[in-house]
Structure 1
């Protein structure tokens, strides 16, 4: 295949849809016979994923790799920042955590060249194997106060000699000003590198923006390659928790109501995407005590700051509501940090999460957790309870959880005979495994007490995701001038 220059999806701001368009382009290039790979030099997200070799990257790049039809690797996201407080993040380099940094420490100029070398080396390794590289910027490209320390936007595009496509969100308003300002605030070299604009998240009659499209091209001096409308029927895994605001809320009749406890530091909420698609389920996120009381099933999800979230559960009354629901026969389960919260105690002797040395858990499971600096990141295959059906998922956690001697594990790990999780009874259990609820065997067990009979066949989530990637690719082909994009990228 002809070599294509790298392309970078840069944004006028955060949450403009760069990740989604990059995912769709990865699938398009794959469909057209190329071997694409995603790349984001630095990502900030609580939703992460374990690579096949046991390292950690941002979930968006794992999704993009899946759309490209390749295994994910740390070269696709060499720096991951996982917020752990208002001004502090855990820094993950090449898939392994290297400690916490506050924003000032991280973004000051000292030490940035070492990080810049790290991301350049990751890009070079990727570019030697794949064609084209679909790059993604971070936030806005016009944060000129951070220009000297920027690792991910225009400086990375310059290093990669990438063509830049600016993604502008029309739904939030001010699309002309944001596009024009983003371009005009670049220096001359970077301005020339911006080869097109994609207007994203359009609502309404597309014909109403025909004159706007021409005006944007005249004002910005850059062609508009497409105007992409919202596609609410296409479902791609989200990375940012801002997406949770769009999830269904409240109770539904004639369905199993599942409440995901909306923790302040919630992570890996993609654990519940399969349940959300189940026609028998009404799944919603909440921090409302009444919702917890009315739900059939309560799930405590993963957390980046487990002790802090446990404190908040007690402060806002949700801990008492969860315990009351359990006494009333409702199902309560926990995943990762939620599993730790359900135990008898969480200890943090090394101060991994801060100054709190220990807290009693909710006491729903006979387990005790010690937080440790070494992070576990691995993909796993396992058996759920006594079932012989193959299951798979992944682990990302700081901490070791010990069950009391007479308690029962939830899962058996296939490769080394380890056990995972703990089950008190059919309506109370927890596990470290993300993706636990992607497996039909586990979903059937969870829903069985609330369904008179199983409806339909097992939901094939892998096939569903493939269908969604193809639908996204078709959507972008319809609304973006892909031939012109190829022309831009084919200059070498």
Structure 2
């Protein structure tokens, strides 16, 4: 019921749902959104804007800043995307259009029917009926594309992931399922490694069966640390590390692995400090300013280079006699490593660098007789190939000329 509001990449405070959606609280944000659009429109054409949720939430219309309100400001051509997989697609599309004011309704120029299963010819009659009742053309029908893999938008998708280890001869990589998990796409690359079985869990017994345990980023580090302890996951992780399991923390997970996290300014709430897992000799102080930057780095003690990004609240102190995990291109160090198997870093995307992943998995690959090097396609080229495949399929499914015509008329 509470979210951190991030404006132009920087946090501006926490809001509960009621406070955030009040009309008067949205006006300053509306001005910022309009200013952002004006900056972009002075440099680019066309501009694609993505709405959020439904365009027909009547109770939220006055406070809307991302759907029809924004379309009205921009004079945008609106394409309504209707999810047929949920059922009720005719009622959804018709209701969404008819519940608009007469002014807003004229911005809606077409409909795309998404996630269609089966033979599209069976929907030809439905397509004509939808156009008749809605008064706008159906630009295309997009099938349910389960062979194209694009990064998920939010953590709801984690409910579909595996939550248990495997008995097959694979490296079990357990990601701790935190209540406020963030940046879960950090694990997309390692999950595609044929040597790896990756699963998300907050069950202490399942965590203990992982060869590798990863503590992910968190939107509320102290709160998630408390939740971890309530379930007994802290003891399971410490015991696993003691018997030779590899443990890695990323961002908030890295902070949890240290000796203490303090929050003197109440950045995350009322808890002033919390003891960490003491797996690393570090300590963290949470601050109001958020660090946001792309980074390039060299893995400590070798010539391997990589890249990623930082986005975190807090500063972590690493003792002078401790070993950093990587050295960034500006000469500063990041992270900490204790022995060969316990490590942490602030860098999101660090596991997209195959050499880092190979180093993390090496002792377990060796023990199981698996290859020490992954044959997984580099993440950047894999991701580009997925977007290219999606683009090609959409060109087959949509009336592209009609879409271009709508865009030209809007100009």
Superposition TM-score, scaled by structure 2 size? 0.95
- 1:398 is aligned to 313
Give me the whole-angstrom Cα distance separating, in 2, the residues matched to 1:321 and 1:402. 25
CA deviation vs aligned residue, 1:357-381 (integer Å, no higher than 9, x gap):
1111111111111111111111111
Matches for 1:140-219 after TM superposition, within 5 Å: 140-219=54-133
- Contact kept, 8 Å, 1:157 with 1:163, in 2: the verdict is yes
- 1:471 is aligned to 389
The one of 363, 381, 388 equivalent to 2:296 is 381
Matches for 1:330-349 after TM superposition, within 5 Å: 330-349=245-264
Q: Quote the offset at 1:124 in angstroms.
A: 1.3
Matches for 1:249-398 after TM superposition, within 5 Å: 249-252=163-166, 253-398=168-313
CA deviation vs aligned residue, 1:15-38 (integer Å, no higher than 9, x gap):
xxxxxxxxxxxxxxxxxxxxxxxx
- The runs of 4+ residues in structure 1 deviating greater than 6 Å are none
CA deviation vs aligned residue, 1:326-357 (integer Å, no higher than 9, x gap):
12211111000000111111111111110111
- 1:481 is aligned to 399
Q: Quote the offset at 1:111 in angstroms.
A: 4.6
SS in 2 for 1:133: coil
Matches for 1:129-140 after TM superposition, within 5 Å: 129-140=43-54
- Contact kept, 8 Å, 1:440 with 1:459, in 2: the verdict is no
Runs of 5+ consecutive residues of structure 1 not aligned to the other structure: 1-86
Give me the whole-angstrom Cα distance separating, in 2, the residues matched to 1:317 and 1:246. 24
CA 1:324/1:143 → structure 2, altered by over 3 Å: closer, same or farther? same
Give me the whole-angstrom Cα distance separating, in 2, the residues matched to 1:132 and 1:290. 52
Q: Quote the offset at 1:205 in angstroms.
A: 2.7
- Contact kept, 8 Å, 2:211 with 2:246, in 1: the verdict is yes
Q: Quote the offset at 1:404 in angstroms.
A: 2.8
CA 1:164/1:263 → structure 2, altered by over 3 Å: closer, same or farther? same
SS in 2 for 1:135: coil
Superposition TM-score, scaled by structure 1 size? 0.80
- 1:72 is aligned to none
Q: Quote the offset at 1:123 in angstroms.
A: 0.6
CA deviation vs aligned residue, 1:293-316 (integer Å, no higher than 9, x gap):
211111010000011101110111
Give me the whole-angstrom Cα distance separating, in 2, the residues matched to 1:480 and 1:458. 32
Matches for 1:16-35 after TM superposition, within 5 Å: none
SS in 2 for 1:134: coil
- Contact kept, 8 Å, 1:376 with 1:395, in 2: the verdict is yes
Give me the whole-angstrom Cα distance separating, in 2, the residues matched to 1:333 and 1:244. 20
- 1:113 is aligned to 27
Count of aligned positions: 405
Q: Quote the offset at 1:100 in angstroms.
A: 1.6
- 1:460 is aligned to 378
CA deviation vs aligned residue, 1:364-407 (integer Å, no higher than 9, x gap):
11111111111111111111121222211111111111123321
Runs of 5+ consecutive residues of structure 2 not aligned to the other structure: none
- Contact kept, 8 Å, 2:193 with 2:376, in 1: the verdict is no
Q: Quote the offset at 1:462 in angstroms.
A: 1.4
Q: Quote the offset at 1:89 in angstroms.
A: 1.7
SS in 2 for 1:210: helix
Q: Quote the offset at 1:204 in angstroms.
A: 2.5
What RMSD, in angstroms, separates the aligned Cα atoms of the two structures? 1.5
Q: Quote the offset at 1:321 in angstroms.
A: 1.6
CA deviation vs aligned residue, 1:195-217 (integer Å, no higher than 9, x gap):
11111122233233222222222
